[in-house]
Structure 1
Amino acid sequence: MQKLLREGYEVERYVKQFFDSAGDRNVSFQAEFRTDDGLYARVDALESMGNGATALYEIKSSTSVKTDAKHNHIKDACFQKICAERAGQHIDRVFLVHLNGDYVRNGAIEPGAMLVFADITEAVEEVVPSTSKEIDAALAFLASEQNMSGCSCVEKTRANHCDAFAIFNPEVPTPSIYSLPRLRANKIDDLRSMNVLGLDDVPDDFPLSENQRIVVDSFQEGEPKVSVQPIRQFLSELIFPLYFFDYETFSSAVPLLDRTSPHKHFPVQYSLHILDADGLLHHKEYLEREARLPDRLLDRMKEDIGPEGSLVSWHASFEKTQSRQMAALFPDEADFLNDLNDRMVDLEDLFKTAYVDARFDGSTSIKKVLQVVCPHLDYSDLDVQDGASAMESWKRMLDAAPEEVDGIAQSLLRYCERDTFAMVEIYHFLMELIS
């Protein structure tokens, strides 16, 4: 969340640069509007145009106008228009300013090329009636004796829950029906109508998919549901040495480097645990300490990864995407990178269907799986504990005082190393399982 806020302000600075370079445009920033009944809006930018009309600009750090249930930019801008107009300021045009995802930095940032000014006036006008009703309902609720037990998120799928879901819905257990994979809202509605929230109360005859039912069975039987044969086959097809591999990447709304684009990741670090057929384990790693493209990182990878052996990753689609994008940046290295992708397998896949445990709480992230199958190992002792924090720490390292750089670097190295060592431990767990 802090990263999103910081990048939003950074995009706003370039919007200001764009308007400043236009010369005679009358634009103000952060204008505030309040109403007596409790509405408040702070508008990113407001322009008094030559014809007496007023334009409102909502600035986003995304690369498109989003209209999904979780991020509806049209409704965001509509709220601001309604608030401004109820406070006495008529709004004639509404624009959503976002980033051009195809923009490639080449030297100094060009605001006119990086920014897109999307006219969303008509789209906003279409939702004014419904948004006004929602605003009035919210104001009425705030003015009443409020019952704060529960929120409408209980009607939605887990991906659409608000950040305060656990606070407003303490009666929902963990795991719950929301932990079931790909459970649609209509099924949630059916279960709630039966007063079913916990997995222990899901009826045997309730229609669920095979993947959903196996999670319920795991919870009700108090043990994981294991299919040994696909696990044995997956492990038997691995080729030694095994390279347990993980990238850490950096991305930013405003491109940091030449040849990069808004929100496009590029690797800045990797960890590699190498397991030989005789059981010998050794570790290699690389961290880029300068703001530069991953050319030196690639050189080190070619030294550390031999021509034979399986690359074992977790959520391999991410690693493969990074390798493909690096191949586009460095065509001379495409053969090496494509070969890595061809040799890569995804350890996470086994925990989607072959080893299912309700204690994963609907997730197969490495941290969720690790705490169940290898509880002796976790991330609690690390300064950096997730990918977003790693990204922020790497940027902070670039700007840090010399005496602080090594400390930040070591925190990053330990975090990435923990990811690949976690894969090694999970691999050993699976090998014992099938022995």
Structure 2
Amino acid sequence: KCGFFNYCREHIPEDSTFDFSGMHLKKKYEMYKEGIIKLGDVPEDYSLNKNNKLQLEVYKNGKPVIDKEAIVNFLSDLNYPLFFMDFETFQPAVPLFDNSRPYQQIPFQYSFHYKASKESELTHLEFLADPGEDSREKFITKLLDDTSAEGNIIVYNKTFEITRLKEIANDFPEYTEQIEERISRIKDLMIPFRQKHYCSPEMKGSYSIKAVLPALVPELSYDELEISEGGLASIAFESLWNETDMMIIAETKDQLLEYCKLDTLAMVKILGKLEAL
């Protein structure tokens, strides 16, 4: 990010046309040059795609647009018990392990929240690799053990977790059958938001979990965490490979566990909000 970004945009107001999600930057600057800077300045007949029109409608009305029927259909496809799953990975430029390649995303951490039923108490399970070793086999054997019970596995953006699981199956083929069984149970909580079944002003057209969580569950926040997004988690884990101070190691591990745990708790709470509609 350019060091002058905030300086050059200090005259741009909150809720500007630069907030249009998915719109090409060239189009945003065309609007800027036309004097259309605030979302409220966009003419009713201005040419926008379907998603940007919806984003503008939600902003102007100040309330969410909710397709309850579509959400009910999504929820009807989920079968308790439910596992809420999230991975963290790092990407070494130079391969550190056998059966790996440059910039391969190596999983080093997961978090699970488990609910036997809608009314049951949450159970939390987690894994964090020891720095300095290839922990992929430990990762997958514990994951398979933790998900041995029946039930759907809920993720947010299933492409990421499924791709990582398939890579592990390729590198450790003895686990392929069990991994494929887990993949068959995965459901993507991102779908209702990506397909605009739920769209609120706070989300600003985005369906990222970082946008959805504060809109639906404002009492949960990443703001107070030392590690607040996946890129920082990767950097923190890699830093442990050369760290010798045991206090720093312990503190960093706690921060990693806290971050990943919040990711899966966020999914639990978001699903609860959808079920309550």
| TM-score past 0.5 threshold | yes
Superposition map of 1:19-30 within 5 A: none
The answer as to whether partners of 1:323 and 1:337 remain within 8 angstroms in 2 is yes
Distance 1:377 1:293 in 2: 31
C-alpha distance 189-383 of structure 1, shift in aligned 2 (>3 A): closer
C-alpha distance 421-194 of structure 1, shift in aligned 2 (>3 A): same
Residue 398 of structure 1 aligns to a residue in which SS?
coil
Residue 395 of structure 1 aligns to a residue in which SS?
helix
| Deviation at residue 238 of structure 1 after TM alignment | 0.3
Residue 298 of structure 1 aligns to a residue in which SS?
helix
Counterpart residue number, 1:147: none
Aligned amino acid, residue 301 of structure 1: L
| Deviation at residue 163 of structure 1 after TM alignment | 5.8
The answer as to whether partners of 2:129 and 2:139 remain within 8 angstroms in 1 is yes
Larger Rg: 1
Percentage identity across paired residues of the two chains: 29
The answer as to whether partners of 1:257 and 1:293 remain within 8 angstroms in 2 is no
Superposition map of 1:47-58 within 5 A: none
| Deviation at residue 307 of structure 1 after TM alignment | 4.6
Which structure 1 residue ranges, 5 or more long, are not aligned? 1-160
| Deviation at residue 338 of structure 1 after TM alignment | 1.8
Is 1:388 matched up with 2:228? Answer: no
Distance 2:168 2:14 in 1: 40
Distance 2:240 2:25 in 1: 44
Distance 2:146 2:77 in 1: 22
Task: State the Cα deviation string for residues 276-310 of structure 1 (Å, max 9, x = none).
Answer: 11422110001111321410111111111035211
Is 1:191 matched up with 2:31? Answer: yes
The answer as to whether partners of 1:270 and 1:286 remain within 8 angstroms in 2 is yes
| Deviation at residue 215 of structure 1 after TM alignment | 0.2
The answer as to whether partners of 1:166 and 1:172 remain within 8 angstroms in 2 is no
| Deviation at residue 171 of structure 1 after TM alignment | 2.4
Counterpart residue number, 1:86: none
Give the TM-score normalised by the residue count of structure 2.
0.92
Which structure 2 residue ranges, 5 or more long, are not aligned? none
Distance 2:182 2:242 in 1: 33
Task: State the Cα deviation string for residues 98-144 of structure 1 (Å, max 9, x = none).
Answer: xxxxxxxxxxxxxxxxxxxxxxxxxxxxxxxxxxxxxxxxxxxxxxx
| Deviation at residue 234 of structure 1 after TM alignment | 0.8
C-alpha distance 173-342 of structure 1, shift in aligned 2 (>3 A): farther
Distance 1:305 1:382 in 2: 28
C-alpha distance 372-302 of structure 1, shift in aligned 2 (>3 A): same
Task: State the Cα deviation string for residues 74-101 of structure 1 (Å, max 9, x = none).
Answer: xxxxxxxxxxxxxxxxxxxxxxxxxxxx
Superposition map of 1:127-138 within 5 A: none
Distance 1:367 1:188 in 2: 23
The answer as to whether partners of 2:88 and 2:230 remain within 8 angstroms in 1 is yes
Is 1:425 matched up with 2:259? Answer: no
Give the TM-score normalised by the residue count of structure 1.
0.60
| Deviation at residue 179 of structure 1 after TM alignment | 2.3
Task: State the Cα deviation string for residues 33-52 of structure 1 (Å, max 9, x = none).
Answer: xxxxxxxxxxxxxxxxxxxx
Task: State the Cα deviation string for residues 388-429 of structure 1 (Å, max 9, x = none).
Answer: 111111122232226232222111111110100011111111
Is 1:264 matched up with 2:107? Answer: no
Higher RCO (CA 8 Å, separation ≥ 6 residues): 2
| Deviation at residue 182 of structure 1 after TM alignment | 2.8
Residue 231 of structure 1 aligns to a residue in which SS?
helix
| Deviation at residue 175 of structure 1 after TM alignment | 2.9
Superposition map of 1:16-415 within 5 A: 162=2, 164-185=4-25, 187-277=27-117, 278-290=119-131, 291-352=133-194, 353-401=196-244, 403-404=246-247, 405-415=249-259
| Deviation at residue 383 of structure 1 after TM alignment | 2.1
RMSD: 1.8
